[in-house]
Amino acid sequence: MAEFRNKDELLRGHAETAKQFQERWDQKGITGILDELEDLESLTARADFWDDPERAKKTSMKKSELEKRTQPWRDLRRDLDEFPDLVDLTLEEVKDQKAAIEGLEGDLHKIRERLEDTLLAEALTGEDDGRDAIVTISSGAGGTESQDWTEMLLRMYLRWFEKRGFRVETADIQQGEEAGIKNATLIVRGENAFGLLNAENGVHRLVRISPFDSNKRRHTSFAAVHVTPDIDDSIIVNIDEKDLRIDTYRSSGAGGQHVNKTDSAVRITHNPTGIVVQCQNERSQMKNKSTAMKMLKARLHELEKRKLEDDIESRSGEKRDVAWGSQIRSYVMHPYKLVKDLRTDYETGNVDAVMDGDLDPFVNAYLKSLAGMGPALKAGEKAE
């Protein structure tokens, strides 16, 4: 059913969209950013701009960054400003007014979708959002149940990475004693990998009939997902060797060419913070140690950044108990089927699709909440 039946309703819909756009424009400070861009454009036009090549390079990069960020906003403003004239012109030239209204309604819906896409992109403009990500999945309260749940989460994420075209390196996997895994560490490479995966940072809770319980009772299991940006050499993280405990152990796993019988795996413990990282994906102990050190630097960088944001207690996986009261998402498989994100209230009854890697709706809902776009809808629910 069409949302708009005539010109007046269409223009009211446009006015409402234009108001929402202006509110977001003001909220994001786009006018100030455009003023900054104008100053940079004046600076790059000066005859002596390239006298200092290093400074000129940084200025040019900043200018390109602001141009890329503001272009969608400028395009939206132009199309919203021109839409009333487009309505008048179209209705004057087209005899079938109903078809004309439907076509214009489609144009307005496209503008709304672009506004939503632009706001989602705004939620990924953090300092580290564009970086690759280091993801650690750890089992929590629940023993074998939680270790099996951790392996289920690992499969879910691997399917999601595949769908998004992310490249994945497995740095470490610790098998469970009876089933599942104790933890896994992955290095995920792709556009905005950290910014997107940050939506998964927290404790995930599963409720199901246990396949390990002969009495078929319902069990609750927990696993934690901790995400840090994969930092490069441009970021300096000072680590005192005296603060480290470095252990080597034999690589574990189901076998194959990447598992050997020497003590090549490396575990590094940072004593002041209690952070533990480990790597066993290489045959060389030296390479595993190098990767583990890089992972440790990334964890310490993220920890310090969160301290500066005064948000470490609520956001850092280091301070969360992997149990009741700290989960960000619940996956219920019995007595009903429901996956619900407790931060955004986005939910779906299609548990199988989620476990098969259909995570985009949850990630987008989280990004929308960061962008101030209001509460998420349930899967399949339509906006009024």
CA distance 108 to 305: 41
Q: Is the pLDDT reported for residue 166 higher than 70?
A: yes
Question: What per-residue confidence (pLDDT) applies to 199?
Answer: 94
Q: Is the pLDDT reported for residue 257 higher than 70?
A: no
Q: Is the pLDDT reported for residue 332 higher than 50?
A: yes
CA distance 60 to 289: 38
Of the chain, the percentage scoring pLDDT greater than 70 comes to 88
As a whole number, mean pLDDT of residues 233-259 equals: 71
Element (H, E) at 112: helix 97-122
Question: What per-residue confidence (pLDDT) applies to 366?
Answer: 93
Q: Max alpha carbon distance in the chain (Å)?
A: 81
As a whole number, mean pLDDT of residues 67-74 equals: 95
As a whole number, mean pLDDT of residues 12-40 equals: 95
Query: 199-236: per-residue pLDDT in tens?
Result: 999 999 999 998 888 788 888 999 999 999 988 766 77
As a whole number, mean pLDDT of residues 362-383 equals: 68
Which of 120, 121, 119, 126 lies closest to 21, judged by CA?
119
Contacts of the segment 152-159: beta carbons below 8 A, 24+ positions apart: 152/180, 152/206, 152/355, 153/204, 153/223, 153/225, 154/181, 154/184, 155/355, 156/354, 156/355, 156/356, 156/357, 156/359, 157/186, 157/200, 157/357, 157/359, 158/357, 159/356, 159/357
Q: Which residues pair with 137 in a beta bridge?
A: 184, 225
Question: What per-residue confidence (pLDDT) applies to 93?
Answer: 92
Q: Is the pLDDT reported for residue 251 higher than 80?
A: no
Higher pLDDT, 12 or 306: 12
Higher pLDDT, 363 or 280: 363
CA distance 95 to 101: 11
Query: 83-102: per-residue pLDDT in tens?
Result: 999 999 999 998 899 999 99
For residue 305, name the pLDDT band (cuts at 50, 70, 90).
Answer: confident
As a whole number, mean pLDDT of residues 16-29 equals: 94
Question: What per-residue confidence (pLDDT) applies to 313?
Answer: 44
Q: With contact defined as beta carbons under 8 Å apart, do 66 and 125 qualify?
A: no
Question: What per-residue confidence (pLDDT) applies to 234?
Answer: 67
Question: What per-residue confidence (pLDDT) applies to 317?
Answer: 44
CA distance 233 to 250: 29
For the ranges 21-30, 126-135, 314-323, 357-366, the lowest mean pLDDT is seen at 314-323
Q: Is the pLDDT reported for residue 310 higher than 90?
A: no
Question: What per-residue confidence (pLDDT) applies to 374?
Answer: 58
CA distance 368 to 363: 9
Element (H, E) at 208: strand 202-209
CA distance 149 to 113: 36
Q: Is the pLDDT reported for residue 20 higher than 70?
A: yes
For residue 301, name the pLDDT band (cuts at 50, 70, 90).
Answer: confident
CA distance 76 to 57: 29
For the ranges 66-80, 126-140, 250-264, the lowest mean pLDDT is seen at 250-264
For residue 126, name the pLDDT band (cuts at 50, 70, 90).
Answer: confident
Of the chain, the percentage scoring pLDDT greater than 90 comes to 58
Phi-psi region of 249 (alpha: psi -120 to 50; beta: other; left: phi over 0): beta
Q: With contact defined as beta carbons under 8 Å apart, do 145 and 221 qualify?
A: yes
Question: What per-residue confidence (pLDDT) applies to 308?
Answer: 63
Q: With contact defined as beta carbons under 8 Å apart, do 108 and 7 qualify?
A: no
Domains of the chain: 7-122 (1.20.58.410), 133-370 (3.30.70.1660)
For residue 146, name the pLDDT band (cuts at 50, 70, 90).
Answer: very high
Element (H, E) at 219: strand 218-229
Burial 258-270 (b: 16+ CB within 10 A, else e): ebeeeebbbbbbb
Which of 122, 110, 134 lies closest to 29, judged by CA?
122
CA distance 227 to 361: 19
Question: What per-residue confidence (pLDDT) applies to 3?
Answer: 86
For residue 143, name the pLDDT band (cuts at 50, 70, 90).
Answer: confident
Q: What is the mean pLDDT of the chain?
A: 86
Q: With contact defined as beta carbons under 8 Å apart, do 213 and 331 qualify?
A: no
Question: What per-residue confidence (pLDDT) applies to 79?
Answer: 97
Sheet of 167-175: strand order equals 167-175, 181-189, 133-139, 218-229, 202-209, 327-332, 338-341, 347-348
